[in-house]
Structure formats: C-alpha cells, structure tokens
C-alpha cells in the first residue's frame, strides 16, 4: 500500500520565498553562534551588533546561493540589524502592528506569487495603446485587462483614450485595488477593477491581456494564455519575456524603458 504524498498546498507554502527566508535565518543561527564564539576566543570585540551583522551576512549569502530574488538578499542582510535597532529605539508595539497591516494590505500574497508591486509608466501605457486594434466594424467592444493592475494607471489611461473599449484590471492586494476603485470613481471613469486572482479568469474573454509581473510568474502565465486565449487576441508583457516562446513583436516605449513584449494568437 503506497503512502499518501505531501499535501500540495503545504508544498506550495514551503516553497514560498518568505517561508524559505525565515528558514534560512533560523538555519544560519548556529553558524552565527559558532563564528561569534571563535571571534570571542580570538579576543575580537563582540557585542549584539556583531551578532546581527554576522547573522545578516550569512543569511544573505545563503539566500543568494539558493537563488532567491535579489530583494530577498537585502531583506535578509538588514533584518537582524533592523530588529536590534527597533529594540534599542523602544518603539511602541502598536507601531509594528500598524506597519504589518499596511504591508499586508499592500503586498498581500507576494510571499506566494513572487510578484511584488511593479508600477508601469505613462510611456508604457501609450505603447500599449498603440498596439490596440482599431474599433471593430461590427461594433463589438474591445476587451482589455491588466492582470495585477496595481493603482490602475494603465487601465484608467486606456479607458480615456479608447472610449470604444471595455478596460478592466484585476488586483490581488486589497489596498492597491481600493486605491484604483477610488481613482476611477473620483474621475468618473468607465474603467472597472476587480479584487481577485487572475488565475481564476478566463483569458478567452479578452482581446488584450497585459501583464507586468515577475520572472517567477511567466511560465504559468504562458500556460494559461496558450490554453485559453482565442485567435486574434494579444498577450503583452512589460519587461519580462517568456522562455517557452519568443515574442512576435518587441517595443521600447523610450530608450530608457524596458521592452514591451507582444504575442499574437
């Protein structure tokens, strides 16, 4: 009789960068203590700041070795000294709760999706506008969606520039989604914003799907797009390409901008 395998949900949690970062900090702690013991034995100056610096350096080095994103290296390096500094400043406990709730609302499931907040620029918005097809002869509205729409800049811009289009965005983090809804309401925009996970969407409903995600999300995005997008539709990704298929078109909004990649179906 075969044993049941590990719970897939638990496996996803274990692979989450935030969980791996925490395990790294715990894992290097014994080595930190060993190094501090050697330093003390050699009569080198040792205090709590020495412990924090050694812990941060070891954690950042292991984070780099294991291939986590570059921002995790900085977080691992600064985390132990930051804890020590917070203790020395004797900050009120409610402040930590407030900062935690703010970050939770802003980044929400970044620990799982590995997609941090990446804002695009007006130059990118206009490049997307230029690749949109003209209004349909039969009057059918053009349907555009920004997956991971953040504060809604692209969607609001396209809604202004293309009155014939149904422009929408979907965002998983509550605070950016709320900000985009308020911006749309304040400006009387036709743009629509949904709080949710784009993986639950049917891409077949859209003529253009725009993504500004992260390298970690691109393989899954391509599998979903290839399975669902209808002939004649477009997938646009700013900055991040797809390894499985070369783009059909590459655009640079300005000389300083990263590339906008387009795939036609």
Furthest CA-CA distance within the chain: 83
CA–CA separation, 47 and 37 (whole Å):
11
Q: Check residue 133 and give its pLDDT.
A: 87
The proportion of the chain whose per-residue pLDDT surpasses 70, expressed as a percent, equals: 83
Mean pLDDT computed over every residue of the chain: 84
Q: Check residue 73 and give its pLDDT.
A: 85
**Pick the residue with more confidence: 172 or 68?**
172
Backbone angles phi, psi at 261, to 5 degrees: -100, 135
| Nearest alpha-carbon partner for 112 in 212, 10, 219, 24 | 10
Q: Where are the domains of the chain?
A: 8-91, 122-264
CATH topology of domain 122-264: Rossmann fold (3.40.50)
113-162 confidence digits (pLDDT tens):
455 556 678 999 999 999 998 887 777 899 999 998 888 999 999 999 99
Mean pLDDT along residues 204-214: 92
Instruction: Give pTM, 2 decimals.
Output: 0.64
Q: Check residue 9 and give its pLDDT.
A: 44
Q: Check residue 140 and give its pLDDT.
A: 86
């Amino acid at each position: 009789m075969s044993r049941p395998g590990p719970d897939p949900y638990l496996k996803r949690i274990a692979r989450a960068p935030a969980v791996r970062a925490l395990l790294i900090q715990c894992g290097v702690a014994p080595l930190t203590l060993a190094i501090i013991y050697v330093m003390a034995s050699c009569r080198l100056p040792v205090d709590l700041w020495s412990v924090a610096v050694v812990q941060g350096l070891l954690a950042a080095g292991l984070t780099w070795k294991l291939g986590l994103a570059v921002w995790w290296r900085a977080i691992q390096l600064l985390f132990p000294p930051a804890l020590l500094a917070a203790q020395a400043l004797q900050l009120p406990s409610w402040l930590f709760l407030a900062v935690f709730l703010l970050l939770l609302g802003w980044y929400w499931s970044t620990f799982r999706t590995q997609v941090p907040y990446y804002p695009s620029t007006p130059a990118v918005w206009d490049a997307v506008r230029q690749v949109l097809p003209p209004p349909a002869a039969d009057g059918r509205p053009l349907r555009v969606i920004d997956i991971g729409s953040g504060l809604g800049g692209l969607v609001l811009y396209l809604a202004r520039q293309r009155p014939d289009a149904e422009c929408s965005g979907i965002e998983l983090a509550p605070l950016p989604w709320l900000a985009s809804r308020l911006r749309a309401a304040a400006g009387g925009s036709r743009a629509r914003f949904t709080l949710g996970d784009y993986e639950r969407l049917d891409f077949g409903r859209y003529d253009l799907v725009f993504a500004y995600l992260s390298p970690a999300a691109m393989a899954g995005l391509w599998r979903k797009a290839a399975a669902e997008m209808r002939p004649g539709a477009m997938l646009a990704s700013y900055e991040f390409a797809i390894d499985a298929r070369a783009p059909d078109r590459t655009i640079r909004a300005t000389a300083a901008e990263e590339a906008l990649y387009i795939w036609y179906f």
